[in-house]
Structure 1
Amino acid sequence: MSTGLIFTGGDFPSYDVFLSVMAMVNADNFFIVAADSGLEICDSYGFVPDVIVGDMDSLSDVSLLDKFRTCEIYKYPQDKDYTDTELAINIIREKNIKSFFIVGGGGGRVDQLLGIYSIFFRDFFPDLWITGKEAVFSLNKGKYYFSFPVKSTVSFFPVCIQETLASTTGFKWPLDGLRWIPGDVGISNVVVETKQSVDVLSGRLLLVLNLFKV
């Protein structure tokens, strides 16, 4: 089954960094939605989107739409109830795609950054969000294995109303025994072993990997 891949405006990684993160999650079969100026990122990577959506107010050159005129394009007025990213997520959901990633959305306005962060608290949320500087992994209940480079910096944030419990290996400061609620944070943990694991016992965590050290 395809994985949804949403390109949205804002800070985004180089193509090489994007590929390195994709290698971590073993994903390569995508249904691609470009949200507004996310189309420019999509084009720079050499991808052709399945759907283009948004009010197109952030495109630096609207003639780019002509290049992709054979794609499905849904243009909305600027006065609308949803952000362009939310419109893209709605399309992914309507396609009955269960897993999706967001690329872009870093830097820029804080309210737009927080707007994407807030999506992780909803019932349909990204498994991965990649900005120009970070890869944000959503960890549900279960055990996850990683091979982040030693000395990489990671941070943890609970994104669940209920209490979140987890145990870890391979990090300088283990999460074992910590009881997390929204508002708690674990900033700047450090990878100290070549293999790491996070076992989420209850709730849900975001793991934020600093891409500068990958």
Structure 2
Amino acid sequence: MRGLLSTGGYKINKDILYKYSKDSFIICADSGIENFIDTDIIPGMVVGDFDSSDENSLKFIEKNKIKIKKYPAKKDYTDTEIAVDVFLKNKFKEVNIISAIGTRFDHTIANVFLLRKLYGQCKAKIIDNHNEVIYCEKSNIKIQKDGFKYLSIIPLSENVRVSSKGLLYETDNLNISLNSTLGVSNEIIEDLTEITLHSGNCLIIKSKD
């Protein structure tokens, strides 16, 4: 099963919204419902404490009889993590997350690290209007260009060693230290990029501009 999680950051462009909504079960974390109000897409569930949902959102939920799972405002987890846990409990094979990046930097960072929670249990990425973000540990992965221009490797541990093909600056067992920007803004020159992470863990980010 494929899932789409819409949370409370910057609103997503309609073309991206329709692309990832297709054949997906959609869960909105509180104000993440706002992405769908002016569309014909009806999410399957909304979770959260509803502290950031406005009147239009609540009317949309009621009109379309969308299932609600309400939680108290005083809780140990964000609404986004609650939605992630629903996907994991139901053993989804793929979870795409939209509107995870916004004005609250603390929430943005926390959302990015939820990719680590999903890693190994399902395929997962964060998508916004300009970027796609995945979390990676020791592995070999192939990444489609899909209209993106840049690829960055951001280390999340010491001794990240990486080899790459299909980029302007290809690497062979390159070591990227935790406090280095060495992996930022490589240019994608092939339709298919191959990344081999020999050790460590990192974020791989594709960017359009």
Corresponding residue of 1:58: 52
Letter in 2 for 1:81: D
Distance 1:105 1:145, change over 3 A: closer
CA contact (8 A) 2:164 2:193 kept: yes
Q: CA offset at residue 81 of structure 1? A: 1.1
Tell me how far apart the structure 2 counterparts of residues 182 and 142 of structure 1 sit (CA, whole Å). Answer: 20
Which of 31-40 and 176-185 deviates more?
176-185
Are positions 1:144 and 2:162 aligned together?
no
Equivalent position amino acid for 2:10 in 1: D
Query: Secondary structure of 1:122's match?
Result: helix
Task: Work out the CA distance in 2 between the residues paired with 1:117 and 1:197.
Answer: 22
Deviation at 1:15, TM superposition (A): 1.8
Gaps of 5+ in 1: none
- For 2:74 and 2:177, the matched residues in 1 are separated by 35
* Structure 1 segment 8-27 matched on structure 2, within 5 A: 8-18=7-17
Distance 1:33 1:104 in 2: 12
Work out the number of aligned pairs and report it.
203
> For residues 10 and 101 of structure 1, what CA distance do their matches in structure 2 show?
14
Per the TM alignment, residue 45 of structure 1 is displaced from its structure 2 partner at its CA by 4.6
Q: Answer yes or no: is the 8 Å Cα contact 2:115–2:134 preserved in 1.
A: no
1:113 paired to 2:112: no
Letter in 1 for 2:165: T
* Superposition CA RMSD, Å: 2.6
AA partner of residue 122 (structure 1)? K
Q: 1:205 to 1:46 in 2, by over 3 A?
A: farther
Calculate the TM-score normalised by the size of structure 2: 0.82
Q: TM-score, normalised by structure 1?
A: 0.81
Number of the residue aligned with 2:35: 41
Which residue identity does 1:121 align to in structure 2? Answer: R
Deviation readout 1:160-198 (Å, 9 max, x if unpaired): x57433211121222322234655442111123343222
Give the distance between the partners of 1:85 and 1:41, measured in 2 at CA.
15
Give % identity.
26
Matches of 1:9 and 1:78, distance apart in 2: 15
1:1-214 alignment runs, 5 A limit: 2-18=1-17, 28-61=22-55, 62-69=58-65, 71-122=66-117, 124=119, 127-140=124-137, 141-149=139-147, 152-159=149-156, 161=157, 163-180=159-176, 182-185=178-181, 186-212=183-209
Q: 2 CA distance for matches of 1:95 and 1:205?
A: 27
